[in-house]
Chain A
Amino acid sequence: MTKSSCSDSQMGPRTPRHLFLAFSLLSLQGFGGLIAIVQRELVEKRKWLTPDEFLSDWAVAQTLPGPNVINLAIIFGERRFGFRGACAAVAGLLTAPLVILLTVVRLTQGAVESQALEGALRGMGVIAGALVAGSGLRMLPGLRKNLLSRSACAVLAVTTFLAVGVFQIPVPITMLILGGLGSLWALTRPEMPKRS
């Protein structure tokens, strides 16, 4: 019983170089939170991941230490081409933006200071929040194949929102407790594949 494991091999990057270029391209479009771009490029445009695969990969990437987009690139790249794939994806994310950033700093000799950026950054920050929240809502179709029922998903999602957004409980603690509960809940479902 493989519910979702076969679907993402239908389409995908052909070579590590293809992976490198794809991740470079998405990284260069990513201002203020790459998640919106990653989701649109990998799921909606290239269809390298189904919505439910993206959701669970993102869950892992977010739980591990380190930048979540880099973790996602490593997990995705490793699945396709092993170690070379992980390196290609991470190198794609970092190389072009790093060169651009250092060139800008070098040319302006540090003249770009927080003062000049302050107003624009504040505005971008509001939008960045909307990007993250909007991408989360855009992932809702990823719950369609979920082993949990609709209402169980809703309870878990709303509780998480209240815990982190309103009561400001630290994310790792929330993930540990609610994630553990959600996983145990899923184990009890009749849809759960039997031990093979």
Chain B
Amino acid sequence: MEQWLELSAHMLSLSLFTVGGVLVAAPEMHQFLVDDMHWLTDLQFTSSIALAQAAPGPNVLFVALLGWNIGVNASTEMGSSASLSGFVPIVGALVALFSIIAPSASFAYFAGRWLNHNRNCRAVQAFRSGVAPIVIGLLVASGWRLASIPNSLVADHVVYLVAAISTLVVWRSRVHVLWLIAAGAVLGFAGVV
């Protein structure tokens, strides 16, 4: 019980600092959960992130997996009965996910409500117009950085070629993105990129 409170407090305290996505807080989470508290192994931490990224849904779900794995470890240590050991990880997952989302979601709710109610005021209109081109530049830049994470196994130009072609496909065609993701997984699995 105390563990869940500590976990919740940690996630609640990080939530409002996750500008740009929850993954920016991953190093702090690793420091706390793996290095300081020893609630998770390094492998459990990294595979939680990898699995959540490979699965459908928002990436923030990796936090639920962290909570789940903490629950698995806790119930193994306690040697709980089989019925309890199925329940504890679910509590861990829900506590972690709720705590990382609740503060930022509340903030977004009130900010969104204010903007929705003042959408015709001059400042909001200026903001909407002024920020729009920046979002486009930002998305292209983030995509560029995501695709060009250094990879020692294959030559960079192959990665850039694949990335450039798929960017064109996403931009100009109506091909469903699931096909592209599947193609990427196959290429990666086969060691092409």
Contact = CB atoms under 8 A, between A and B. Distances in A.
A191 to B, nearest CB: 9
Interface in B153-193: 159, 162-164, 166-171, 176-178, 180-181, 183-193
Question: Main SS of the interface on chain B?
Answer: helix
A28 to B, nearest CB: 5
Interface of B: 15-22, 43-44, 46-47, 50-61, 64-65, 68-69, 72, 86, 89-90, 93, 97, 101, 103-105, 107-109, 111-113, 115-116, 119-120, 122-123, 125-149, 151, 159, 162-164, 166-171, 176-178, 180-181, 183-193
A187 B171 CA distance: 31
Chain A residues touching B, range: 35 or more
Contacts of B137: 136, 156-161, 164
A79 B115 CA distance: 9
A154 B20 CA distance: 23
A27 B54 CA distance: 13
Question: Main SS of the interface on chain A?
Answer: helix
B180 A182 contact: no
Contact of B170 (A58, A78, A135): A135
Contact of A124 (B43, B64, B159, B184): B184
A32 interface: yes
A130 B21 contact: no
A78 B117 CA distance: 10
Given A66-B107, A112-B47, A136 B143 contact: yes
Given A59-B128, A66-B105, A113-B47, A127 B166 contact: yes
B193 A123 contact: yes
